[in-house]
Amino acid sequence: MHIMHVVGARPNFMKAAPVLTALARSPQVRQTLVHTGQHYDANMSDVFFQQLAMPAPDLNLEVGSGSHAQQTAEIMSRLEPVLIERKPDLLLVYGDVNSTMASAVVCAKLLVPVGHVEAGLRSRDRTMPEEINRLITDQLADLLFTPSPDGDENLVREGVAPEKIHLVGNVMIDTLVRLLPSCAAHKPPGLPERYALVTLHRPSNVDDLPWLGLLLRALAEVSDELKVVFPVHPRTRQRIAALGPGTLPSALCLMEPQPYLSFLALQKEATVVITDSGGIQEETSFLGVPCLTLRENTERPITITKGTNVLIGRDIALMQKEVGRVLRGEKKKAAAIPLWDGHAGERIAKIVQGCA
């Protein structure tokens, strides 16, 4: 059985690693790993492959950056001849990036079966490019692997046949569980004992420059009580620069984007995490670290109902209030989330092989 995996961005790598490992245990399975090159610099790609102990990609499509339409078109045109030549029995895609959706569309045209890992998540906000990618991919996929029961419910509501849906748990947590014991050695030096960890990258936060400036000033106010550590995404750094000189508060501790193990160490030791990321909502919930999400919605509601996540939106006063609660020891308690146990990749591998 020939299984092809397509990855394109850092979250994909973390999700694919446990599935690749689990399938590698079967001598009947041959695997091909295709990297679209959607993320292409060393910190965003190469180092992640090394730290996750993933095999080097068999192919790199070297798509690079561009508008959503340009990037999607490039992925489709470069992947199609690979599929025609290599003829996989199943193609596995991960998460909700452009590489995921583009690959699913190409496979649907070529009648190559598709499995979607992390299916069924919905923010119900179609202004998010990721939501469009999720909706399209899930309608085209033949196997849908969901991380939580809300994913199953969403898919059934959208008319997906129940026999295609498999609740397997969260593959990102597989990677976290495996690497958590080794992350302490990778903690960046010189950090304060207590700190708020901040990540920002979504257009809704970084492309609206007046709001971005207001948010940075609010984070500087947070730093009066709790140091703010801020690994800055390249795109976010460009938008901060567009604000003009002198607008970045000096109180914020800026650093370059961190490799997986370093960032995991930062999350584990943080007093609170302030983010607009999807995956970080999940990781902080598993780690029991308070998470304040700078979004009006989330495709991961289980991180609110069972995890440590609180939606903040654009409410600066609410952010300050929640930080104050954390500092007073009133942090939200997390419950164990079913199947977030480090074995989701193994469950996917068993289902895939059973469908052969």
Can 201 be counted among the known catalytic residues?
A: yes
Q: What is the 3-state secondary structure (H, E, C) of the chain?
A: CEEEEEECCHHHHHHHHHHHHHHHCCCCCEEEEEECCCCCCCCCCHHHHHHCCCCCCCEECCCCCCCHHHHHHHHHHHHHHHHHHHCCCEEEEECCCHHHHHHHHHHHHHCCCEEEECCCCCCCCCCCHHHHHHHHHHHHCCEEEECCHHHHHHHHHCCCCHHHEEECCCHHHHHHHHHHHHHHHHCCCCCCCCEEEEECCCHHHHCCHHHHHHHHHHHHHHCCCCEEEEECCHHHHHHHHHCCCCCCCCCCEEECCCCHHHHHHHHHHCCEEEECCCHHHHHHHHHCCCEEECCCCCCCCHHHHCCCEEECCCCHHHHHHHHHHHHCCCCCCCCCCCCCCCCHHHHHHHHHHHCC
Catalytic residue of the set 39, 116, 201, 233: 201
Catalytic residues: 201
